[in-house]
Amino acid sequence: RGLIFVIVLLLTILCSFIYRKCRKHIDINGKNYNIRIQENDLFEMKDCKKVIPFDECFTTKVGDAPDEINPRSICGQYITKYPIQEWEIQNLISIAQLQPANSRSKYQNKIRYESGKVIQKGDYLLMAFAKLDENGLGVMTRKEYIACLEQLWTELDKYYGQRDICIPILGSGVTRMEDTSLTQQELLDIMIESYKLSTHKIKTPHKLCIVYKKRDDFSFDKIGESI
């Protein structure tokens, strides 16, 4: 009996280990929210609306210059797949009745929009995200990042239209944090905690799906540890 118990225990541990290593998503459910953390390509997600983080000026020019959209970023991939001109962005801004921020961008004194604000184009929600410095590089402080999330949840409550919302881990790409250094794991924890605390949520059974690309600095088992 002892031998059988040991064998069963070892098999259970092995199966658990394999499952934890191979799983592609994890669900976090609460009284009034459903969050799914999923490894996938954002553009391959089906039957949902997808958030695309632009900069605060909704720049549409893709390239390798500091003031251009990095072609490898989520925004760069989106514009490459679905080319969009500046006049089209302005038309979407007008339709959404989105008002400019009170102050101008540090980059060339351009009109900017508050981080977290959204305009809609089909199944995509184009979001003003990173602030721009004097060189046109995307930068944010931790405080600005949290404020952006608070604004974003309000916007998603307005735009989700009884569908799931898919969003990348914001800030894990080319955006620079001015006053701190945050890993993909830490950024995810901040997003989850911010969403839990927000009064604006996607109503169940619909969910917020946070999509990520597999990286060494991320683990399902470590979710929540940095908060």
pLDDT in tens, 168-196: 999 887 788 877 778 888 999 999 999 99
3-state per-residue secondary structure call for the chain:
CHHHHHHHHHHHHHHHHHHHHHCCEEEEECCCCEEEEEECCHHHCCCEEEEEEEECCCCCCECCCCCCECCCCHHHHHHHHCCCCHHHHHHHHHHCCCCCCCCCCCCCCCCCCCCCCEEEECCEEEEEEEEECCCCCEEECHHHHHHHHHHHHHHHHHHCCCCEEEEECCCCCCCEECCCCCCHHHHHHHHHHHHHHCCCCCCCCCCEEEEECCCCCCCHHHCCCCC
Query: Is the pTM value of this prediction over 0.75?
Result: yes
Average pLDDT over residues 61-70: 91
- Least confident range from 17-26, 31-40, 68-77: namely 17-26
Write down the mean pLDDT value for the chain.
Answer: 89
Average pLDDT over residues 110-135: 96
